[in-house]
Amino acid sequence: MSVANVMKMVKENDIKFVDFRFTDTRGKEQHVTVPVSHFNEDKFTEGHAFDGSSIGGWKGIQASDMQLMPDPSTANIDPFMDEPTLILTCDVVDPTDGKGYDRDPRSLAKRAEAYLKSSGLGDTAYFGPEPEFFIFDSIQWDVAMSGCSVRINSEEGAWASNEKFEGGNTGHRPGVKGGYFPVPPVDSLHDIRSAMCTTLEAMGVPVEVHHHEVATAGQCEIGTKFSTLTQRADWTQIQKYVILNTAHAYGKTATFMPKPFAGDNGSGMHVHQSVWKDGKNLFAGNGYAGLSEFALYYIGGIIKHARALNAITNPGTNSYKRLVPHFEAPVKLAYSAKNRSASIRIPFVHSDKARRVEARFPDPIANPYLAFSALLMAGLDGVQNKIHPGEAATKDLYHLPPEEDAQIPTVCASLEQALEALDADREFLTKGGVFTNDWIDAYIALKMEEVNKVRMTPHPVEFGLYYSC
């Protein structure tokens, strides 16, 4: 969409406010709003000034002045605001040099796409994430010196069969690992997901499917179409915004937290990806599962750098409560066409155009701009250095004999371990200035704050283990 078309959109829809949005390091969208009387074509060339010093992991107070540069192609009307409001996704620009700020995730994603082209290996990278999420009726938690607690309230929860609800307990709910995927009334969230899909389509994000997921207590998935790296990250942010706000409008609460409760499946974000050049899918070939040598080397790069990738694709302490060996989580660093226990899967497709690989270990609290860029950089490093991933996995990796199990590498077991891996294995990310050492250092420091906060807080389980010792 051109600037002229955006201005036409403002006029035709009687827009009252314009909302400038950007994404912080942790992946959370931030915004600042101006009345339409203070919005004109100059905003697309001069930008909108804001203070970047309050954003976690960004510049300090001594260098806080930043510019939001709106992208006219992202213009959308917000479906949740009372007053007609136009949304514009922005790049963050450092006014001292006019370039994309090196810690701005969207600017970093654009650098990754530029690096792909400059490398000569390809000209387009396509990504298709599958972020899972939960919808609860309500959530309560408390973290205090006197103790910690959390309570998830869900009429869909397998634990709710003996609870009293206003209007009565219907008794229809999915059991543990029973959510995939009975019809209503067991699936009580069909209409909410349909409302989410309708809104996503209206905002330009093509929807391909929606369904209940495996876990009890409202685990869901909405499948949306693949696209180029930066646009697909933009769409993922729209998807999260729509899911969170639609649930809120229905009087419920949605979360992308990977493991909100024990005893059932956590939420992942499987990421499909492929690299193209001159209109040709470079992943298609005559090798294993129809893959090219290029694709196999790409897989090799992801496997080699997986532990460093974990710091970005699995960026929370909670992420590693999902990635636990022997509990049907994609922790084994192997690849397979049919084996979903491998961390890299090659989906069955009917044409070479659809040939792709699927990384199964990422989760939905990952910042999509950073996660997609990091996966691309790891894959390209594999191609450049011809890192072959070895033989494909044919056995069920969840139930291997101990001696075989020990031979297959795994993802990290904690965020702290992942940050250590990132610190030690960062060169593949800094090629072409896509990620910078300054960014990596700031990111590690930001995430270690989270590690230490959890590390210093006693867990209720520990009382069961140690109180009477």
Q: What is the set of active-site residues?
A: 51, 130, 132, 213, 221, 270, 340, 358, 360
- Specify whether the backbone of 426 is left (phi greater than 0), alpha (psi in -120 to 50) or beta: alpha
CA distance 155 to 172: 9
Angle between helices 306-313 and 293-304 (to 10 degrees): 70
Q: Select from 445, 450, 438 the least CA-distant residue to 104.
A: 438
Question: HSE of 292 in the Cβ direction (CA atoms, 13 Å)?
Answer: 17
Q: Any residues with CB less than 8 A from the CB of 39 and at least 6 apart, and which?
A: 10, 18
DSSP string for 270-304: EEEEEEEETTEETTBSSSGGGB-HHHHHHHHHHHH
Q: Select from 443, 440, 426, 333 the least CA-distant residue to 381.
A: 426
Cβ–Cβ < 8 Å for 307, 413: no
Q: Select from 172, 358, 181 the least CA-distant residue to 265.
A: 181
C-alpha distances (whole Å) from 240 to each of 245, 355, 435 are 8, 27, 25
